[in-house]
Chains A and B, each alone.
Chain A
């Protein structure tokens, strides 16, 4: 069955520290991959996307993600976290020509001053 796994439910990092949020997917072929961010009471904002080509993709707000086919992973990274990055982050996969996106259960990021 298709699935997206985000193994970390909560992560706390200090402001200025680096960040990596994990995401693994389970599909027969490489799906399109996305990271979304959700602030409290808000909808989902697209951070970045991977369709094909360069496996390191850049997004908004200084985020990047790396697709690793061998590990079925699409981890999100940021070199230096800001207090405003505190939010919940969702990884999503969309197998080609499917009618839906599959979302992970989310990782809630706390940022310590």
Chain B
């Protein structure tokens, strides 16, 4: 596709459930980022992939969060045992490499009830 695609656009889940958020980056982009944006705040870094490997996962808040990018294209952010505090917009971005501009998807709004 022409841009970064994220699905679903909205996700409501019950506390304690498991969720998966998907990101389809711009074709050919090797760098992929996940960010989290809480209401009224700027995006906060979660994880960076270069190709298939997670080159930097220092932003993941705890071990309930995990992300994969098995073929170096689509990435999935996985959250186990969701908590109400996980409610936020999860943004994915991709770029040619980490020293070029990143293009963001529309985000997935996660609501944990």
Spell out A's residues near B (CB within 8 Å): 4, 32, 34, 36, 42-46, 49, 90, 94, 96-106
B33:A101 contact, CB within 8 angstroms: yes
A36 and chain B: residue at smallest CB distance: B104
Across-interface contacts of B99 in A (CB, < 8 A): 32, 94, 96-97
Give me the 6 closest cross-chain CB pairs, A-B, nearest first.
A103-B42, A99-B56, A44-B104, A100-B45, A43-B106, A99-B48
Q: With a CB–CB cut-off of 8 A, which chain B residues contact A43?
A: 4, 6, 91, 104-107
Nearest residue (CB) in B for A101 is B102
Residues B98 and A46 in contact, CB atoms below 8 Å apart: no
A103/B56 in contact, CB under 8 A: no
B85-108, CB under 8 A of A: which get 1 and which 0? Answer: 000000101000011011111110
Number of interface residues of B (CB under 8 A): 25
Give Cα A45–Cα B42 distance, bound, in whole angstroms. 14
**Once the chains bind, are A106 and B42 in contact (CB under 8 Å)?**
yes
B55 → A minimal CB distance (Å): 6
In the bound assembly, the distance between CA atoms of A97 and B4 in angstroms comes to 23
- Of all chain A residues, the one with the shortest Cβ separation from B101 is A49
* Closest B residue to A42 using CB positions: B106
Known: A44-B43, A90-B43. A99 touches B98 (CB 8 A): yes
Contact A100 B48 (CB under 8 A): yes
Contact pick for B33, options A4, A46, A100, A106, CB 8 Å: A100
